[in-house]
Structure 1
């Protein structure tokens, strides 16, 4: 008897909400592409909505790191 294959979710399926969004096993390329585009668009919108660090926040972080390094070198 051959060894059984453990089935797990693929990383591409992390954004699927229901079985209708699952494009794996779809043989029609047009349908598969439409499902993949829908999933990628949803992920893109979630990333844009998520708060990101502004340029000013990144500059402040680098200033703080530089001052900490200076203190470590010159106690």
Structure 2
């Protein structure tokens, strides 16, 4: 298992829209003890996963937004 980068080490930071590099994948995400994270493609977000009502509304609004459309087009 890869170790987490040292504090302040920016070499492993995630790509931001418009930045060169690659997008993060599941193994790239380092999280704290006992937590779990799953990176889900946008077209699978609302496929019946158990979200709170507020989370479902927020995801639905964001996926329909011009900002998401712009980010998705940027790759």
For the aligned pair, the TM-score class normalised by the smaller chain equals: under 0.3
Higher relative contact order (CA 8 A, sep 6+): 2
The TM-score normalised by the length of structure 1 is 0.27
More helix by share: 1
